[in-house]
Amino acid sequence: MQALMLAAGMGKRLGRFTKNSTKCMVNVNGKTLIEYAIEALVKCGIQKFIIVVGYKSEILKNYIKEKFPKEKLNGMEIEFIENTIFDKTNNIYSLYLARKELEKDDTILLESDLIFKGKIIQQMISSPEKNLAAVSHYENWMDGTCTLLDENDSITGMVSKENFSWQKTDLYYKTVNIYKFSSDFSKKYYIPFLEAYQKTFGMNEYYEQVLRIISYLQPNILKGFKVSSDDWYEIDDAADLAIAENKFATTKEKLKLFEKRFGGFWRFPKLKDYCYLVNPYFPPESMVEEMKSNFSILLDQYPSGAYQNSILAGKIFNIAPENIVVGNGAAELISSAMQQISGKIVIPYPTFNEYPERLPNAEIVELKTDFSYTAADVFQKAKDVKASTVLLINPDNPSGNFLKKDEVLSLCRNLREINCNLVFDESFIDFSEKEIRYTLLDENILFENPNLTVIKSLSKSYGVPSLRLGVLANSDSGYVQKIKKANAIWNINSFAEYFMQIFTKYSKYYETACDKIARERKRFSEELSKIAGIKVYKSQANFLLCELQGKISATNLTQKLLDEYNIFIKDLSHKKCFENGKFIRLAVKSEQDDNEFLEVLRKIKFFEQ
């Protein structure tokens, strides 16, 4: 068995990563793609490795000779075929140049922009099937040639980009671009068709087009070899490279990379996210369908400016547009609002880091807590230090601590008497138990309390984090205008605007969704508390603060869950007040998801580390 790699291309989409070297010399977690490939081939007992080179060929050849002296190749020979017109041709011509080699032996054909686990090649070699194409069930991040398989996994067709249908993706299997061809298949079918196709259509084509014809004429000759999408990745650009680094990192590095992403986990469809906080019960399917039905018009239309969006937000909360501003998520409003604060600001700790990190002109005074505090505690601290502002996140993040409405309004009045403002973040307040649920986004409350600013993330509570929606309200229209001017005039997109426009039609669904979260939080908390080694703190948010009481650390548990179960949780070890490394935060999700997570946690021996 031999292997053949097509590595003549320029890899233009990778930009700076291929400016001075070839595509297969791109580095993923400290090792180049060609290193991964050669090591896998050697381990699989491949006797000869042919590489079709072109762009920066001398650099690649010298690199391979330096990295892989004979003693490292375990008898495997490496030969090069030069594509001197690589800049005018495509991979069909590179493969054509290697046609005589294909005739000599059974061949593993692979492309140079792949990172993959060696077991794919080992299993393909071991398979009794003579001609195979490695394929993975289609996922939304995939791009390129897709195949159709029959009940025996024979490839019955290859789907071109022109014939691709989003309605049929359940039937599609994406080619991994690793193949096993018998020499007999190459001689009788592939090479003759390859030569004829190239003669007809030219050298700037793709070899998959030849396979498409063969699979159509001889549907049982090439079979699909199903592999997990976790075991490979194709690297076409810098974004792909970042994802490949995530997928193929060591457990420790993978965790660091995920923590740096701050989202975008749709690129990792098998990941179960218990870190980021979102409402799993809203929006309802009927609202989603309404959004979908307007997709085309929203896509090609400009959104309205800030004032019109203030009208929409004002309609939801019954607040005049001059007293409310819409932000690109609460994060944008937090940044703008914190810029306005000077003097001393009291913040109960631990807290949401976005606030203290956006305070360039204020002196932070920490109110240290044991994850529980009262309005009286907050007021006393503000009074003692002569604070100009108090920040109150309610329910607090990450503790889940909750102050009732009368307590907060009393605090606001008391702070007004000492000329102190209150910034009240109620991003999680809608998840509190129905009997104590409330909002301060109320015109009467705002005007009765001119020292009150309310911030709310709609992305979290309304279940639409991708739309990036948040609001800020204050009775002082001049102050609100300052915040509006600090933000871009088109700071939210048309989809977010339309969501606000239609929200009130679905407000009853929203109330029901929040009730479901409150019930599930209670149930989830009770079940977690039954697991030896986990202490659960009381919460009114859609998350639970948990303390690990066994030997396992929060970081080790987070790594274990990610590596073994594809579950991502919030490790609080790097946050202030959690220096002992024993605290995690868990999102509350649907009952089904939470039950699956509970089953995983019950398997972990928290005291045996």
**In the chain, ranges of CATH 3.90.550.10 domains:** 2-237
User: Which two three-digit tokens encode residue 13?
Assistant: 């989409």
Strands 543-548 and 583-587: antiparallel
Domain topology for 285-503: Aspartate Aminotransferase; domain 2 (3.40.640)
Q: Does the pLDDT of residue 505 top 90, yes or no?
A: yes
pLDDT-derived band at 609, boundaries 50, 70, 90: low
| Mean pLDDT, residues 508-512 taken together | 96
Question: Residue 351, SS3?
Answer: coil
Residue with tokens 């007809």: 200
pLDDT in tens, 263-320: 887 778 888 999 988 899 999 999 999 999 999 999 999 999 888 999 999 999 999 9
More confident residue, 81 or 259: 81
pLDDT in tens, 105-145: 999 999 999 999 999 999 999 999 999 999 999 988 788 88
Within 10 angstroms of residue 316's Cβ, the number of other Cβ atoms is 17
| 390 close to 378: Cβ distance less than 8 angstroms | yes
What pLDDT does 380 receive?
A: 97
| 302 close to 494: Cβ distance less than 8 angstroms | yes
Mean pLDDT estimate for the chain: 92
pTM: 0.82
Q: Does domain 245-279+509-603 bear CATH number 3.90.1150.10?
A: yes
| Mean pLDDT, residues 370-391 taken together | 96
| 233 close to 121: Cβ distance less than 8 angstroms | no
Rounded CA gap, 552 and 581, in Å? Answer: 9
Q: Does the pLDDT of residue 425 top 80, yes or no?
A: yes
Q: What angle do CA 515, 516, 522 make, to 5 degrees?
A: 95
| Mean pLDDT, residues 250-257 taken together | 79
User: Which two three-digit tokens encode residue 424?
Assistant: 């009240």
| 203 close to 89: Cβ distance less than 8 angstroms | yes
Highest-scoring range by mean pLDDT, 6-10, 357-361, 452-456: 452-456
What pLDDT does 111 receive?
A: 92
Return the closest-CA partner of residue 442 out of 419, 424, 415.
Answer: 424
Residue 22, C-beta contacts closer than 8 angstroms, at least 6 positions apart: 7, 11, 53, 55, 56, 57, 59, 60, 112
Q: Residue 126: exposed, middle, or buried by beta-carbon count in 10 A (0-12, 13-18, 19+)?
A: exposed
Return the closest-CA partner of residue 247 out of 258, 237, 236.
Answer: 258
Phi/psi at 532 (5° precision): -60, 125
| Mean pLDDT, residues 463-467 taken together | 92
Return the closest-CA partner of residue 588 out of 515, 509, 500, 507.
Answer: 515
pLDDT in tens, 142-200: 888 888 899 999 888 888 778 888 889 999 999 999 999 999 999 998 888 888 888 88
User: Which two three-digit tokens encode residue 494?
Assistant: 């048309």
More confident residue, 519 or 271: 519
**In the chain, ranges of CATH 3.40.640.10 domains:** 285-503
Give kind and range of the element (H or E) at residue 546: strand 543-548
Residue type at 137? H
Q: Does the pLDDT of residue 533 top 70, yes or no?
A: yes
> Which CATH number fits the domain 2-237, given the four candidates 3.20.20.70, 3.90.550.10, 3.40.630.40, 3.30.365.10?
3.90.550.10
pLDDT in tens, 551-587: 999 999 999 999 899 999 999 999 999 989 999 999 9
Q: In what order do the strands lie in the sheet with 583-587?
A: 272-274, 567-571, 583-587, 543-548, 534-536
What pLDDT does 595 receive?
A: 97
Rounded CA gap, 562 and 559, in Å? Answer: 5
Percent of the chain surpassing pLDDT 90: 71
What pLDDT does 306 receive?
A: 87
How do the residues of the chain divide into helix, strand and coil, expressed in percent and rounded to 5? 45, 20, 35
